[in-house]
Structure 1
Amino acid sequence: MLTSQRKQHLLSLLRRDGQIVAKALSQELGLSEDTIRRDLRELAAEGLVQRVHGGALPASPAAVNFTARQDLASEAKVAVGRAAARLVQPDQIVILDGGTTAVQVARHLPLDLKATVVTHSPTIAVELAQHPGVEVVLIGGRLFKHSVVAVGAAAIEAIGHVRADTYFMGVTGVHVQEGLSTGDLEEAHVKRALSRRAAETVVLASSEKLGVASPYVIASISEVSGLVVEQDVPEDVTTPYIELGLSIIRA
């Protein structure tokens, strides 16, 4: 089998099974593990897979810049954002992450809602600037332009002074075994800090983020309370999360 054919076969298996286990596949194909791992390294360099211990997972298509993400599964993000906005109760303090799905949460908060939104996203702050009943607390720090959010030590120090009811977390990858992940190390640290300052964390999980992984782990699945997903996500996709005790909110 030629290298190009072998790589296409790996991608086909990944689409079918949702993961590649290098040892098992090497035995199946009669190839060395080194050969499989080399192919996976090259596919990872092309952004087609995310390598994990022992093999690979699908790479998240959501790990692109903010502008590009605005056009990715936009209808799904509107639905997820609308459903998440309905979870916000009067007089709550909620943390709203950065990102295009979080923007939809902000846009769908009822105009008569009185609550406090804490965010490290200038984009979210601007979205809520004209909301009559929402007080906005903006966390500062170094601007990570890829996601248009504040990161760094100053942001994490400020986050330590917050105590919120719910954190609506944006991610680029949600996986039962590999947890929640994103494409930047500092951003992962900030998201972890935000999650620790909320009574519960709800993940905004449009379908392109389910079953995929990005390079930097935020937290394990067990550390969050629930997922907001699209209405038509198959039950066999959500069942493993339910078995781990998560609530599934369908948009």
Structure 2
Amino acid sequence: MDEALRTSKLRLGSRFPRDLRADVDMYLPVTTEVMPGLTVSAVRSALQRRKIEHHVSDSDRELHGCLVARGGHGFVFLDGADGEAERRFSLAHEIAHFIADHLVPRARALEAFGEPIRPVLNGERAPTRDERLSAVLARVPLGVQVLLMARGPGGAVCTWDVAESERRADRLAFELLAPAAAAMASVQGILGDVEDPSHHDQRQAAEHLASQFGLPVTEACSYVYLLLSRRRRPLSVEIFGRR
């Protein structure tokens, strides 16, 4: 989390619910657009209007949010038909992808290889054989990172790396909107120190969390479960895994 925020230079407000879009507009090279009835084909059309060359899946499906990023810049599309809380979480999720899957790998590659690798990261040339070998040895990804995640026709996650990226983005999105320390204090204010709270009590805690931090109730329920299970696991492990 510290590396992600240092890399992004994102500064977040201290009041909740956070106005994440205002913070993103101020600190990140990301353009956000709200579109009614967001679909893959709508994203494709929007990119064509902006004259941005980026491959988008040939299959069409509805989306809550979508990120396209190249060269350190990002475009986030959100579904205008969603409610405010849903859009807030979708934005946080896509920004988490932008930071964790685009900015952080770029920063690591630039640190490892220097400025000569920038054209590779921007998709302007292919990496050399030596660069590919060095990248594998250093565990540094090269090339344009995957931004519109590969899915099945109905939107199902089909590969482990996509599932891992989605899991990480959700964890980081929770932290952006409801920092774990503050969220845990909120949950414990409802549940106390009960080790195995009932489903009803967890739901009550989730509704309180949703109200305080502006989360959708469904995501707040997932976050309560995560917070309770994470009492023995550090945040860095939950977001980025063990290294």
For the aligned pair, the TM-score class normalised by the smaller chain equals under 0.3
More helix per residue:
2
More strand per residue:
1
Give the structure, 1 or 2, with the largest relative contact order (CA under 8 Å, sep 6 or more): 2
Q: How does the TM-score come out when normalised to structure 2? A: 0.27
